[in-house]
Amino acid sequence: MKDTLRSLTWTGKALRLLDQTLLPEQLVYWDCTESRQVADAIRILAVRGAPAIGVAAAYACVLALREAQKGGGDWAAISSRFHDACTYIDQARPTAVNLSWAVRQMRDVFAASAPEMAEENLLARAQAIEEEDRATCRRIGENGAALFAGRTGLNLLTHCNTGALATAGIGTAFGVFVTLAERGQIRCVYADETRPLLQGARLTATELMEDSIPCCLIADTMSAAVMRDRRIDAVIVGADRIAANGDTANKIGTYSLAVLAAYHHIPFYIAAPFSTFDFTIQSGKDIVIEERDADEVRRFGGVYTAPRRVPVYNPAFDVTPAELIRGIITERGVLTPPFADSISQYERSLSNE
């Protein structure tokens, strides 16, 4: 991955974000010195992808404390301003659990810190979250690649963007592609364009080309034909929230792919780190699905492609039922059905650290 395609960089004074809404045509970076700027960047998808949102939110909390301290007053006043800013960050987007997971950690670190240590401790935790994500992506890549040991000429299909732009590392599902490509096992990664905002076309296709991974971009409407005609070996996608029973929220269109994969007897895998699991919810019914602005569907690149006032339904995510998922590739191995058991074992292994 080229360094220019890093989704975020902490500069010491600011969180530098690559504005992903302008890719692939323009490389524009924003230096966010205020927590609200980061939260708003998350809201408009300048930074997006569940793990990257979590890392960005953690750094936003560091900025939030700096702002709260500048406002003066006693520690109670600073603390109250810090928590208000954390709430604003937390509410930027509802579906990717990595966001609230990161903000909760930062609030906990704040609560456990003496005032003179709070900023240093928050920064250390944000950096640890970023570093951990980088290492986690590598392990997901290894564990996913192990599923295809000894095989070459693989045709894989993916949706949305799960690469370096969506994480702090090589990516989740994309990390599996990178690892397999390093071992010469890939014939082609087919990338869905991912309507309405084209994360597949604008971001995944860019990353595949940058990493010289053999690839082919397709419109979302082509997936069924590609599965039937191009001998797809597996579908691998990312996740925004995984419930305790394995039901998984990911970019809208993922559910259709899972149904199509089942029809064509193609294994369907999710790749995700521990920060994407929501062990507190029993099933996908409890996942809040973000609905976004109607104009995202009515127009693209500022040009209307539909009547300006046509009613629109624009859920940003859908939930794939666990029964359609062959395995969940994590940093600790591949979880398999029954997911209620494998996920609870996974949760126990995390809490035993």
Please state the closest distance from residue 329 (CB atom) to ligand MRU, in A.
Answer: 11
Please state the closest distance from residue 135 (CB atom) to ligand MRU, in A.
Answer: 15
Q: CA–CA distance from 127 to each of 52, 61, 161, 271 (Å)?
A: 13, 12, 23, 23
Cβ proximity to ligand MRU: between 118 and 287 the closer is 287
Report which of 338, 335, 319 is spatially closest to residue 327, judged by C-alpha positions. 335
Q: CA–CA distance from 334 to each of 246, 325, 331, 346, 350 (Å)?
A: 12, 12, 8, 10, 15
202 is an interface residue for ligand MRU by CB under 6 A: no
Cβ proximity to ligand MRU: between 123 and 325 the closer is 325
Cβ proximity to ligand MRU: between 81 and 159 the closer is 159
Among 46, 48, 118, 213, interactor with ligand MRU by CB under 6 A: 48
Cα separation, 37 vs 335, in Å, equals: 37
**Parallel, antiparallel, or unpaired: how do β-strands 248-251 and 317-320 relate?**
antiparallel
Please state the closest distance from residue 167 (CB atom) to ligand MRU, in A.
Answer: 5
Please state the closest distance from residue 194 (CB atom) to ligand MRU, in A.
Answer: 8
- List, in order, residues 6 or more apart from 209 with CB less than 8 Å away: 215
Query: Which residues from 87-126 bind ligand MRU, rule CB under 6 A?
Result: 96
- List, in order, residues 6 or more apart from 236 with CB less than 8 Å away: 144, 156, 157, 158, 173, 176, 177, 269, 270, 271, 329
Q: How many residues bind ligand MRU (CB under 6 A)?
A: 18
Per CB under 6 A, which region of 1-9, 104-112, 159-167, 211-219 contacts ligand MRU?
Answer: 159-167
CA 40 from chain center: how many Å? 17
Cα separation, 334 vs 323, in Å, equals: 16
Concerning whether 295 is annotated as a catalytic residue, the answer is: no
Query: Which residues from 294-323 bind ligand MRU, rule CB under 6 A?
Result: 316
74 SS3 class: coil
Cβ proximity to ligand MRU: between 251 and 326 the closer is 251
Please state the closest distance from residue 217 (CB atom) to ligand MRU, in A.
Answer: 16
CA angle 62–64–65, rounded 5-degree value: 70
Q: Residues 90, 133, 233, 240: which is the catalytic one?
A: 240
Cβ proximity to ligand MRU: between 5 and 316 the closer is 316
Query: Which residue sits closest to ligand MRU, CB atoms considered?
Result: 238
Query: Sign of the CA dihedral 104, 109, 115, 121?
Result: negative
199 is an interface residue for ligand MRU by CB under 6 A: yes
Query: Which residues from 228-247 bind ligand MRU, rule CB under 6 A?
Result: 238-240
Please state the closest distance from residue 80 (CB atom) to ligand MRU, in A.
Answer: 30
Q: CA–CA distance from 74 to each of 69, 80, 81, 106, 109 (Å)?
A: 9, 10, 11, 20, 19
50 is an interface residue for ligand MRU by CB under 6 A: yes
206 is an interface residue for ligand MRU by CB under 6 A: no
> Where in 54-116 does DSSP place strands (E)?
none
Q: 277: how many CB neighbours lie within 10 A of its CB? A: 26
160 is an interface residue for ligand MRU by CB under 6 A: yes
Tokens found for residue 332:
């600790």
Query: Which residues from 247-276 bind ligand MRU, rule CB under 6 A?
Result: 250-251
- List, in order, residues 6 or more apart from 228 with CB less than 8 Å away: 264
Please state the closest distance from residue 312 (CB atom) to ligand MRU, in A.
Answer: 17
Among 35, 37, 136, 162, interactor with ligand MRU by CB under 6 A: 162
Among 85, 97, 122, 166, interactor with ligand MRU by CB under 6 A: 166
Cβ proximity to ligand MRU: between 165 and 260 the closer is 165
288 SS3 class: coil
Catalytic positions, please?
240
Q: Applying CB under 6 A, which residues contact ligand MRU?
A: 45, 48-51, 96, 160, 162, 166-167, 172, 199, 238-240, 250-251, 316
